[in-house]
Amino acid sequence: MTLVRFKRDLMPTFDSLFDNFFDTPVSDLFSDSLNIRQIPAVNIKETETDFIVELAAPGLKKDDFKISLDKDVLTVSSEKEAENKEEKEGYMRREFSYSSFKRSFTLPEKANRESVRANYEHGVLSIVIAKTEQKVETAKLIEIE
Residues 6+ apart with CB under 8 A from 123: 56, 57, 58, 59, 60
Domains of the chain, CATH where assigned: 14-131 (2.60.40.790)
> Reading across the β-sheet that carries 73-88, which strands appear in turn?
65-70, 73-88, 91-106
State the pLDDT at residue 11: 54
Residues 6+ apart with CB under 8 A from 114: none
Spatial distance between the Cα atoms of 87 and 103, rounded to a whole number of angstroms: 38
**Per-position pLDDT tens, the chain of length 145:** 555 555 555 555 555 555 555 555 555 555 554 444 578 899 999 999 999 999 998 888 888 899 999 988 999 999 888 888 888 887 788 887 788 899 999 999 899 988 999 999 999 999 999 998 876 677 788 888 8
Q: CB-side exposure of 59: number of CA atoms within 13 Å? A: 16
